[in-house]
Amino acid sequence: TQLLEQSPQFLSIQEGENLTVYCNSSSVFSSLQWYRQEPGEGPVLLVTVVTGGEVKKLKRLTFQFGDARKDSSLHITAAQPGDTGLYLCAGSFGNEKLTFGTGTRLTIIP
């Protein structure tokens, strides 16, 4: 079983602070996606990374794919209450099936 571990599991910070969440695996990803899921909704795709060392930015969110394509990080600058949600990474290991991580539940306190 290919396991994706996300850390931390829970994170609660004040508005305006910066944070980083991580997604790690012992296996090499062919591609990795980050999703945000709000209560009562399905996950929504934020970004896809494919190349080792790749960095993508989406406004205040910065996504990085590890050089060895086994890990990824999501950094949020100046967090806002609207960033609150469950952040999920999902990896493809050479086929089309997505394997999701356990998620990081982020709460931004106004």
Partner 1 sequence: EAGVAQSPRYKIIEKRQSVAFWCNPISGHATLYWYQQILGQGPKLLIQFQNNGVVDDSQLPKDRFSAERLKGVDSTLKIQPAKLEDSAVYLCASSLVLSWGRPVGAKNIQYFGAGTRLSVL
Chain residues in the site for partner 1 (CB under 8 A): 4, 30-31, 33, 40-45, 48, 50, 88, 90, 92, 94-103
Q: How far is the CB of 97 from partner 1 (least distance, A)?
A: 6
Helix (H) or strand (E) holding 85: strand 85-92
Closest approach of partner 1 to the CB of residue 32, in Å: 9
d(CA 15, CA 7): 20
**Residue (of 90, 88, 73, 82) closest to 107 by Cα position:** 82
Tell me whether residue 53 or residue 78 sits nearer to partner 1 (CB atom). Answer: 53
Q: How far is the CB of 82 from partner 1 (least distance, A)?
A: 19
In the complex with partner 1, which residue's Cβ is closer, 14 or 96? 96
Tell me how far, at minimum, the Cβ of 21 lies from partner 1, in Å. 13
Which residue's CB is nearer to partner 1, number 27 or number 80?
27
Instruction: Write out the two tokens for 104.
Output: 């990081």
Please, which residue, 42 or 110, has the CB nearer to partner 1? 42
